[in-house]
Amino acid sequence: MKRIGFLTAAAVILALGLLAAACTDDDGGGDASGTPSATSTATSTTEVTADPVIENAVELVEQLRPSVVHLRTAQGVGTGFIIDEAGYIVTNNHVISFDNGQPAGEIEVTLSDGRTFDAEIIGRDARTDVAVLQIDATGLKAVPLGTSSSLRVGQEVLTMGNALNLVGGPTVTKGVVSAVNRLVDESPVFIADAIQTDAAINPGNSGGPLVTADGKVVGITTAVLRGQGGIAEGIGLAVSIDLAKPVVDRLIADGFVNRGRLGIFAAAVSRATENNCLIDASSGVLVTSVVADTPAATGGLEDCDVIVEIENLSVDNITDLFRALLEHGPGETVDVSYIRDGEVEVIVVTLGKSPN
């Protein structure tokens, strides 16, 4: 691929120590044949399909409440949610970790019925800010996990968490999906598929569920953006559940995540112009930079290549890329298919070890 001969400025927002850069995907529509349908006219309007609306927030909160838990460690409080009657709880890694990355020695979990338990850390993944705990308790209610890939900007969502550790139980807020595919990149955290919402989020909400009208979790609340000078309002972030699910599964199975490494910086193909790339692809992952002396560099990947498949796993977006690198760990040899100058090419690389 050729670089376009101009630069585009990118805005950045500082958020509680996390740097978030916009990374939205815009999908175009139309008849594949290029021919207007029989019902199309110059004055016709597009019918908008209604998004799921939270019609009864009170009922949804009552459904959700038994699954949301209060977490307390020596350094503060946070939130988690039960995903299995065996006592597995999902939260943010930063909720149960010290600033130096070490895990909290004691974690107290309080259920909605007032029962309190000591939690065991099953596994932590600093890169996605996801952690799994477990308590030995009976009578637990798990909240179902949904999918985040079908979320639409403007769709209503609800979140519940222990905002500011206020007395009287968790706080409930409602808002909309403000944006999808946000990028949070502040070492060691690298969340490639964050959901932005205007539902009010405050310290203590971290680790709580972001829920749609059907009562399913689509995100894990992780941060609130304040902007430069603290003047931004209504900008919160959640780890998408599609990104978190395979991490949670791996943490429960192994206690850690051992992901493979290609050695690239990547972005959605919709950001080709701002990365000075001229591409011929509507999906995939754009290579914005190749790190020297890595599998990608050795294999011959270049800036502006578009990765579309890894070892028979389709890569339509950054979440797919991360999932593929979870599926294939360090030391595995994989085929990587990519588009360059409109042609699909394949290289064979042996994956390195990604930092956790």
Which residues, at least 6 apart from 185, have a Cβ–Cβ distance to it below 8 Å?
Answer: 19, 20, 21, 191
Let me know if 206 is a catalytic residue.
Answer: yes
Q: How far apart are CA 79 and CA 111, in angstroms?
A: 11
Q: Using an 8 Å Cβ cutoff, are 21 and 12 in contact?
A: yes
Marked catalytic residue, from 70, 125, 129, 178: 129
In this structure, what token pair is assigned to residue 315? 């890569």
CA–CA distance, 221 with 64 (Å, rounded to integer) = 15
Catalytic residue at 94? yes
14 and 235 Cβ atoms separated by less than 8 Å: no
What are residue 116's phi and psi, to 5 degrees? -125, 140
* Peptide bond just before 188 cis, omega within 30 deg: yes
The tokens for 316 are 């339509």
CB within 8 Å of 212: residues ≥ 6 apart: 52, 54, 146, 151, 155, 156, 157, 158, 218
286's enclosing H/E stretch is: strand 285-290
β-bridge partners, 340? 343
Is 328 considered catalytic here? Answer: no
Of the residues 67, 70, 94, 240, only one is catalytic, namely 94
- Return left, alpha or beta for 16; rule: phi > 0 is left, psi -120 to 50 is alpha, else beta: left
- Between CA 218 and CA 162 the distance in angstroms is 19
Contact 240, 218 (CB under 8 A): yes
From the candidates 148, 178, 206, 240, which is the catalytic residue? Answer: 206
What lies within 8 Å, CB to CB, of 140 at 6+ separation is: 66, 82, 84, 85, 87, 111
Contact at 8 Å (CB) between 331 and 323?
no
Active site residues: 94, 129, 206
